[in-house]
Amino acid sequence: MIVFDLQCAAGHRFEGWFASAEDFAGQRTRGLVSCPSCGGHQVERVPSATRYNAGAVEAPQPKPEKQAEAGKDPFAIAQMLYSRLLDEMLRTSEDVGADFPAEARRIHYKEAPERSIRGLATDREHQELVDEGVPVMRLPVPPRDRMN
């Protein structure tokens, strides 16, 4: 998997995960890549910041038999990748609950420390944040008591 930093014609930045650069190009040509904020299909790769992990612990790799099983079924591969993404997001972000819209604005306007947050926002609140230029993205996160 390769992660590309992307930007739509409206200026929304987001990440996309692809099997290869060719996979990204093919999906973009077929109109399969769209902005999660506005749905726009004019998406371009943008330069990404380099990442340096000083002393970071390597994430545990799935057991070989799980990889072999997933390799046979595209749905299983997607499910495994989504699960990893969700685990990473939950591990590295702060849950601010219903205060999400207000806290996202405070961070955007540099009134609060910059950090990754997650929480709840209504459709209207989400659209208002997007209209203000606050970088937000909706992800379906199942309730903790229903996670496998």
Q: What is the pLDDT of residues 68-83, one digit of tens each?
A: 555 577 877 887 888 8
The C-alpha R_g of the chain, in whole angstroms, comes to 17
- Tell me what pLDDT residue 14 has: 86
Token digits for 21?
């650069």
Q: What is the pLDDT of residues 76-133, one digit of tens each?
A: 788 788 888 888 888 888 989 899 999 999 999 999 999 999 888 898 999 999 999 9
Q: How far are the Cα atoms of 4, 7, 11, 128 from residue 50, in angstroms, in the given order?
A: 12, 17, 21, 31
| Residue 126 backbone zone (phi > 0: left; psi -120 to 50: alpha; other: beta) | alpha
d(CA 124, CA 18): 31
d(CA 34, CA 28): 8
User: Per-residue pLDDT averaged across 26-41, rounded?
Assistant: 89
